[in-house]
Amino acid sequence: MDAMGRSTKSSSERSKSRRPEAGPPVGSDFLQLDIGRAPAGGRTAWLTDRLRSAIADGRLPVGTRLPASRVLAEELRVTRGVVTEAYRRLAESGQIAGRGRLGTVVVAAPAPPRAHPAGPALPGPALFAAADREGAVDALRALPCRTDLSPGVPDLAAFPRTAWLRAERAVLASVSPGDFGYGDPRGAPALRRAVVDWLARNRGIRADPAEVVVVSGVAQALGLLARTLREDGISRVAVEDPGSLGTRQQLEYGGHTVVPVPVDQRGLDVGALRAGGARAVLTTPAHQFPTGVVLDGERRRDLLEWAAGGGVVIEDDYDAEHRYDRPPVPALRSLMPEGVCYAGSVSKLLAPALRIGWLLVPPNRLDAVVTAKRYADLGTGILTQLVLARLMDSGELERHLRHVRSRHRRRRDVMLRAIRAHLPGARVHGAAAGLHLMVTFGDAHGTARGGGPRGSDFRDTDLAEAALARGVKVHPLSWHRMTPGPAGLVLGYAAGPAHDIDEGVALIGAALRDTLA
Amino acid sequence: MDAMGRSTKSSSERSKSRRPEAGPPVGSDFLQLDIGRAPAGGRTAWLTDRLRSAIADGRLPVGTRLPASRVLAEELRVTRGVVTEAYRRLAESGQIAGRGRLGTVVVAAPAPPRAHPAGPALPGPALFAAADREGAVDALRALPCRTDLSPGVPDLAAFPRTAWLRAERAVLASVSPGDFGYGDPRGAPALRRAVVDWLARNRGIRADPAEVVVVSGVAQALGLLARTLREDGISRVAVEDPGSLGTRQQLEYGGHTVVPVPVDQRGLDVGALRAGGARAVLTTPAHQFPTGVVLDGERRRDLLEWAAGGGVVIEDDYDAEHRYDRPPVPALRSLMPEGVCYAGSVSKLLAPALRIGWLLVPPNRLDAVVTAKRYADLGTGILTQLVLARLMDSGELERHLRHVRSRHRRRRDVMLRAIRAHLPGARVHGAAAGLHLMVTFGDAHGTARGGGPRGSDFRDTDLAEAALARGVKVHPLSWHRMTPGPAGLVLGYAAGPAHDIDEGVALIGAALRDTLA
């Protein structure tokens, strides 16, 4: 491209110093071409490849005149057709061209790769202060650490590798060739049936497979809903406060204004939802994130009444299966299919990295959501879908859930003991279920109700910063707040072994003393 | 919800006929409760489940008064705590509530699933006429048929199941628990490295893994680019005409106006692109869809000059590896990383249903695309990524490509013979590469240049309709046109066995005679 004077810095620099302009053509010795190395019957391909490599690595810079085909053929002792065909291929790809009296000239070289930064720049101390920064959670995730107590991840060492491989083998032995083609954007019928049965057994939901859209996790489900709600003229969505930073960012990226609605000991404040005037709400009724509160019976009925009046409820059922002391509360969706869009996934059941989940939407929204899914990616990968369907149908997934539930429970107990020992002033919330708990400091209420911008004597971002300096990753509660409230932390206990949990909480205790000092 | 007078038709109808209003409480015999069936130590769970089932199936309709806990405990000969805990769980989930003097009352029942249509209504004869209809391609795909000659699908029976399972076993044996967590939205480092090596070996591209974003197929790549281009103020994208209906719809769904640019025997008309004024273009330079034309060397340089002046080239390299008579033309991206967004996938190499591909974008667009990918789905499924990386690194994917290329070539030759025999008036285009060819009828030019709204004596949608009536699926060329041109068909030959191809083309010949009659 240098020949055209409109190219990249690197290649134009190269050409300035080395371009032979209209000098004599190079000869076959310019590349130490040894036709004896060409495979029998593959001389054209060999010559094309040698010339292309020489152009790519700069031995034949842009502007170089190549020898006439007759001359090169004689030098290499090949037929002229071999050379003309190699030239033709290079001309076809735009790298050489006939230039009248100058003959055949190199006109464009592949650009070399440039050095790229290894990833987004990590903001260091600014990470925790910039609560709304896109990708803050990702940036924290990418940092090395000693102990990771970030919330939202199950026991990944327990991933059922053997059962997965067994199911994959069965799938590969039985899948029809047609299933490898472009499929229904709603997902594989086998998985949609398995999800319906799973939800009936575990979440009290009675649904038809035609209502299920397989998605690449709850994140995608929220993206599809954000898009289709906007098509309906809805551009403000109420969210729980405190509530998940990630899902709030998801809605904002989808073009919505998010409206905070307080959460108290009974869950989402439905009266405040009504007063806020948003026509849609994103909620986590079975186990509110991050407080762990269960939406109580009366609030549930009140929320469904709001939905019956035209409100859209988006139920994010992200970790409801992990309840330790009694069976999980059935999903809101089980009581009212019409007003509830229900999203769930295997991220907390098996592994977030599988990126697979499900979205159930009321009939009047189904076509728009299927269209959104079609244009998002034409559907989710088939093998993961079929393997998951087998694990659900065979009971393996429930076996796995029972297994990790008992491990998670033990880890929760370790964390509770560690908090009593190392963070004696902290109040614990939401320990009855889930993969995380919330602690607050220095406020008798301990929920999002009270407090100024500094609900305690310190900022929880400073505490998270001090903990990270000691090698422990946690989420400051203020990351997940839209309005000020008591300082706190959100602590995941499911991912790592008991010893790490105890040590991590002890280090947080030390960090707290630093922060208060 | 019927109790609140604002519920679904089905459940409110049910309640009207059966609601006991304020009658006496039911007794334990109302459900034939037999405590002898409860597992030892699981009486609370058993009773909760029995009551919940009775509410769900209508035996305890909304409005029913439940017996006092003391009474039910006596009748069942259980402790009163078992009953109060079961009532508490049902109250927590919002299904029963205390109602003062009436005692405990059923207040909400899970809604039963409703019958849904099995899928979008199939438009029958209107399918081919409605060229721009959303999901027309999906609707055709869902129809049963005798022979499917739709374009775009490789030989799916050749999917390397054994190699896939072997690679999956190796991945599951070696993957670290951390890889199962939330990862880099750009994709697994192992796959991004493998893609870079694959593109260097097969597409002449020299890139850095940091430039690669793993996507769920080219469809997702286009969605991410559509979004980020709009953030840059670009809302008009030029597309090839004829060009892929699916990708055009993708851009339109992403909020863009598509501007048709003619394709001739040398590929995209870059002069017309300039004249059209769009700041971005989607192109298939290695093997134009559907004409099969290769963008020639001079046009390539001209297009890159346009890009160097600020234009954005989106290179859809959808099936470039499938070239039969000589090596594929290197990608445009190999010559100019700055102005070219490059998208590819395994859809034509392995199987569309895997939904995995890659997107390379210039550095100034990378952050925006990674953000779009994060909010789209937080990344593509990890196991598929790691298995694909192994198949690329081990050479299995190239082995597979050589294998299917020879099968595809034989099938192409069968189709060419069949066309000569059964469609003697047809002109064949683009048979040198790919998984499909294009035929046109009744026009000496045979490209998009000439012709009125009926460039031939008949509409190709009528021909496709007549072929479908005989059990053969094809795409009418006009589906993939924005401006009128000669009638034609786009015929895929890679997916099915030789006999089906010959029979299918013979049936198209019969359909053509019907159409002309």
How far apart, in whole angstroms, are the C-alpha atoms of residue B475 and residue B491?
Answer: 7
Work out the mean pLDDT of chain B and round it to a whole number: 87
Q: What is the pLDDT of residue B12?
A: 35
Does residue A199 contact residue A364 with C-beta atoms inside 8 Å?
Answer: no
What residues of chain B lie within 8 A of the CB of A172, using their CB?
Answer: 161, 164-165
Shortest CA distance to B273 belongs to which of B261, B290, B285?
B261
* DSSP characters over B123-147: -TTHHHH-TT-TTHHHHHHHS--SE
% of chain B residues with pLDDT over 90: 64
Q: What share of chain B is helix, strand, coil (3-state, %, to 5)?
A: 45, 15, 40
pLDDT band at residue A127, thresholds of 50, 70 and 90? confident
H or E stretch including B236? strand B236-241
For B118, other C-beta atoms within 10 Å of its C-beta total 11
Shortest CA distance to A263 belongs to which of A285, A236, A235?
A285
How far apart, in whole angstroms, are the C-alpha atoms of residue A69 and residue A83?
Answer: 6
pLDDT band at residue A392, thresholds of 50, 70 and 90? very high
What residues of chain B lie within 8 A of the CB of A345, using their CB?
Answer: none
**Class of residue A166 by CB neighbours under 10 A (exposed 0-12, middle 13-18, buried 19+):** middle
With CB atoms and an 8 Å threshold, state whether A141 touches B182. yes
A234, amino acid identity: I
Shortest CA distance to B182 belongs to which of A384, A154, A504, A283?
A154
Q: What is the pLDDT of residue A41?
A: 75
The Cα of A175 is separated from the nearest Cα of chain B by a number of Å equal to: 10
What residues of chain B lie within 8 A of the CB of A135, using their CB?
Answer: 371, 374
Residue B188 has pLDDT above 70, yes or no: yes
Residue B432 has pLDDT above 80, yes or no: yes
Q: What is the pLDDT of residue B471?
A: 94
Shortest CA distance to A476 belongs to which of A238, A142, A149?
A149
With CB atoms and an 8 Å threshold, state whether A178 touches B172. no
Residues 17-46 (A) with a CB less than 8 A from some CB of B: 45
Could you give the angle at which helices B460-469 and B498-516 cross, rounded to 10 degrees?
120
Cα–Cα–Cα angle for A153, A154, A157, rounded to 5 degrees: 115
Could you give the angle at which helices A189-203 and A382-393 cross, rounded to 10 degrees?
40
Q: What is the pLDDT of residue B453?
A: 34
Shortest CA distance to B255 belongs to which of B213, B218, B216, B222?
B222
What residues of chain B lie within 8 A of the CB of A121, using their CB?
Answer: none
Residues 392-431 (A) with a CB less than 8 A from some CB of B: none
pLDDT band at residue A126, thresholds of 50, 70 and 90? low
What residues of chain B lie within 8 A of the CB of A366, using their CB?
Answer: 116
CB-based contact, A497 to chain B, within 8 Å: no
Taking only the tens place, the pLDDT of each residue in A17-27 is 344 445 667 76
Q: What is the pLDDT of residue B144?
A: 87
When pLDDT is averaged across residues A173-179 and rounded to a whole number, the result is 95
- Out of A165, A338, A383, name the one closest to residue B384 (CB): A383
When pLDDT is averaged across residues B50-74 and rounded to a whole number, the result is 86
Taking only the tens place, the pLDDT of each residue in A355-377 is 999 999 999 999 999 999 999 99
When pLDDT is averaged across residues A283-291 and rounded to a whole number, the result is 96
- Out of B116, B182, B377, name the one closest to residue A220 (CB): B377
Taking only the tens place, the pLDDT of each residue in A211-226 is 999 999 999 999 999 9
Taking only the tens place, the pLDDT of each residue in B359-376 is 999 999 999 999 999 999
% of chain B residues with pLDDT over 70: 87
How far apart, in whole angstroms, are the C-alpha atoms of residue B282 and residue B307?
Answer: 12
- Out of A161, A184, A297, name the one closest to residue B91 (CB): A297
Which positions ≥6 away from A246 have C-beta within 8 Å?
A137, A219
Task: Kindly report the backbone phi and psi dihedral angles of residue A312, in degrees, each rounded to the nearest multiple of 5, phi listed first.
Answer: -105, 120
Q: What is the pLDDT of residue A447?
A: 38
Residue B325 has pLDDT above 60, yes or no: yes
Task: Kindly report the backbone phi and psi dihedral angles of residue A357, in degrees, each rounded to the nearest multiple of 5, phi listed first.
Answer: -160, -165
The Cα of A73 is separated from the nearest Cα of chain B by a number of Å equal to: 20
ipTM of the complex: 0.85
Q: What is the pLDDT of residue A37?
A: 79
pTM strictly above 0.90: no
What residues of chain A lie within 8 A of the CB of B109, using their CB?
Answer: 335
With CB atoms and an 8 Å threshold, state whether B352 touches A182. yes
Does residue A358 contact residue A385 with C-beta atoms inside 8 Å?
Answer: no
How far apart, in whole angstroms, are the C-alpha atoms of residue B15 and residue A514?
Answer: 62
Does residue A135 contact residue A120 with C-beta atoms inside 8 Å?
Answer: yes
B199 in the Ramachandran plot: left (φ > 0), alpha (ψ -120 to 50) or beta?
alpha
How far apart, in whole angstroms, are the C-alpha atoms of residue B130 and residue A72?
Answer: 57
Cα–Cα–Cα angle for A81, A87, A93, rounded to 5 degrees: 135
Q: What is the pLDDT of residue A64?
A: 86
Task: Kindly report the backbone phi and psi dihedral angles of residue B212, in degrees, each rounded to the nearest multiple of 5, phi listed first.
Answer: -95, 130
How far apart, in whole angstroms, are the C-alpha atoms of residue A246 and residue A152?
Answer: 11
pLDDT band at residue B131, thresholds of 50, 70 and 90? low
The Cα of A305 is separated from the nearest Cα of chain B by a number of Å equal to: 7
Taking only the tens place, the pLDDT of each residue in B435-473 is 999 999 975 443 333 333 334 578 999 999 999 999 999
Q: What is the pLDDT of residue B126?
A: 66
CB-based contact, A142 to chain B, within 8 Å: yes
* Tokens linked to A391: 């694990």
Which residue matches tokens 């598929």?
Answer: B384
- Residue of chain B whose Cα is closest to the Cα of A378: B219
% of chain A residues with pLDDT over 90: 63
pLDDT band at residue B42, thresholds of 50, 70 and 90? confident
Q: What is the pLDDT of residue B35?
A: 78
With CB atoms and an 8 Å threshold, state whether B93 touches A300. yes
* Tokens linked to A23: 């000098």
With CB atoms and an 8 Å threshold, state whether B297 touches A336. no
Q: With helix as H, strand as E and coil as C, how does A257-281 read?
A: EEEEEEEECCEECHHHHHHHCCCEE
How far apart, in whole angstroms, are the C-alpha atoms of residue B353 and residue A214?
Answer: 13
A473 SS3 class? strand
* Strands in B406-446 per DSSP E: 426-429, 436-441
The Cα of A453 is separated from the nearest Cα of chain B by a number of Å equal to: 29
Work out the mean pLDDT of chain A and round it to a whole number: 87
Q: What is the pLDDT of residue A246?
A: 92
* DSSP characters over B143-187: S--SEE--SS---GGG--HHHHHHHHHHHHHH--GGGGSS--TT-
When pLDDT is averaged across residues A314-319 and rounded to a whole number, the result is 95
With CB atoms and an 8 Å threshold, state whether A335 touches B363. no
% of chain A residues with pLDDT over 70: 88
Lowest mean pLDDT across A76-80, A343-347, A396-400, B255-259:
A76-80
Residue B134 has pLDDT above 90, yes or no: no
The Cα of A220 is separated from the nearest Cα of chain B by a number of Å equal to: 5
Residue A146 has pLDDT above 50, yes or no: yes
What residues of chain A lie within 8 A of the CB of B206, using their CB?
Answer: 56, 110-113
Residue A253 has pLDDT above 70, yes or no: yes
What residues of chain B lie within 8 A of the CB of A7, using their CB?
Answer: 308, 336
Q: What is the pLDDT of residue B480?
A: 94
When pLDDT is averaged across residues A368-397 and rounded to a whole number, the result is 97
CB-based contact, A1 to chain B, within 8 Å: yes
How far apart, in whole angstroms, are the C-alpha atoms of residue B414 and residue B428?
Answer: 13
Give the count of Cβ contacts less than 8 A between chain A and B: 347
The Cα of A137 is separated from the nearest Cα of chain B by a number of Å equal to: 10
Could you give the angle at which helices B396-422 and B189-203 cross, rounded to 10 degrees?
50
What number of helices (H) and strands (E) belong to chain A? 17, 17
How far apart, in whole angstroms, are the C-alpha atoms of residue A244 and residue B68?
Answer: 41
* DSSP characters over A390-401: HHHHTSHHHHHH
With CB atoms and an 8 Å threshold, state whether A108 touches B301. yes
Residue A291 has pLDDT above 50, yes or no: yes
With CB atoms and an 8 Å threshold, state whether A119 touches B377. no
Task: Tell whether omega for the bond before B290 is within 30 degrees of 0, i.e. cis.
Answer: yes
* DSSP characters over A433-471: BSSEEEEEES-SS-SSSS--TTSSSS-HHHHHHHHHHTT
- Residue of chain A whose Cα is closest to the Cα of B154: A181
